[in-house]
Amino acid sequence: MRKFFFLETLIEKVWYSKNIFSLLLSPLSLIYISIIYLRHTLYGLGLISITKINVPTIVIGNIVAGGTGKTPLVIWL
């Protein structure tokens, strides 16, 4: 249990620290937010359509997050 506490503390320290990397990545986050906003607006205006398929679909987890057991679950399915 102590090992996980140390890991959690380390991750929080890195995540919330203000350093040169966070300053350098800030403009990229603004670009990303702008792209997502534009995409959302285009969907809302109907300029981009949602593709519907006629087969059952299962979405497993978050594509970005790793280590949550998605692969074993998909193999099991």
pLDDT digits (tens, 9 = 90+) for 43-59: 999 999 888 889 988 88
CA distance linking residue 77 with residue 70, whole number of Å: 11
Inside any domain, residue 15: yes
Inside any domain, residue 69: no
Query: Domain range spanning residue 22?
Result: 1-50
Inside any domain, residue 63: no
Extract the runs of DSSP E, i.e. beta strands, from 1-77: none
Inside any domain, residue 57: no
End-to-end CA distance of the chain: 32
Inside any domain, residue 37: yes
Inside any domain, residue 36: yes
| Count of the separate structural domains present in the chain | 1
Instruction: Note down pLDDT in tens along the chain; length 77 residues.
Output: 566 778 788 778 877 888 787 788 888 989 999 999 999 999 999 999 888 889 988 888 776 666 667 888 888 88
Which amino acid belongs to residue 65?
A
